[in-house]
A and B are shown apart, each in its own frame.
Chain A
């Protein structure tokens, strides 16, 4: 298994441009999520999905859109990039939603570094 993959690894955008960060997992996980990590800070949840066709907002959703048409893919769209969206973006997946007493954790991708000028 490739695990969680993210593309691109690095991207430079100009203010106002739009782009899509790709995330895919081959573990048939139901739960997927997007986090952003800023310098000196922990990760903050942007959007998440508990299964195909179901998405919801996290802590910092403004300026981002998501969709989940398949179990494998969970793209993150920046509608109109702003310098405040300069960050490292991580995608994560997990095998089940609402589990009990499980030791299953979340699996993170390698991240996408985004610079908005």
Chain B
């Protein structure tokens, strides 16, 4: 059974720091991996989607990498800002079925 783990559960950094969020999954046979952002009391917003054949995706200050063989993905946030404060969720899709398996998230606080 696929399991997704995110470490750390919470992270507090001063503004301007570069930071890395980690996601690991137990079954390397995935279709894609996605990173989502969730603001308190809100729904999820997709940040980056990496297909199984890809190694990384970039959007602005965000870069996500995927290493299927080791079952790991990282989300790199450059020059963090207070507006980046949110919970970041990693999810894998086992096959082309749209069924996502989520990690429990990393709660990020960027201090001014």
Q: Hey, which bits of chain A sit against chain B, CB under 8 A?
A: 4, 31, 33, 35, 40-45, 48, 50, 58, 90, 92, 94, 97-101, 103, 105-111
Contact = CB atoms under 8 A, between A and B. Distances in A.
A106 B101 CA distance: 13
Contacts of A101: 51, 53
Contacts of A98: 96
B22 to A, nearest CB: 14
Contacts of A58: 99
Given A40-B104, A108-B43, A48 B99 contact: yes
A31 B104 contact: no
Nearest to B36: A108
Nearest to A97: B98
A50 to B, nearest CB: 8
Given A94-B98, A99-B96, A103-B49, A42 B43 contact: no
Contacts, number: 60
Nearest to B95: A98
Given A44-B102, A98-B96, A105-B34, A111 B42 contact: yes
Interface of B: 4, 9, 34, 36, 41-46, 49, 51, 53, 89, 91, 96-105
Nearest to A39: B104
A35 B97 CA distance: 15
A42 B34 contact: no
Given A4-B43, A42-B103, A50-B98, 8 more contacts: A31-B98, A42-B102, A43-B102, A94-B98, A98-B96, A101-B53, A105-B34, A111-B43
B96 A48 contact: no
B44 A42 contact: no
B105 A42 contact: yes
Contacts of B98: 31, 33, 48, 50, 94, 97, 106
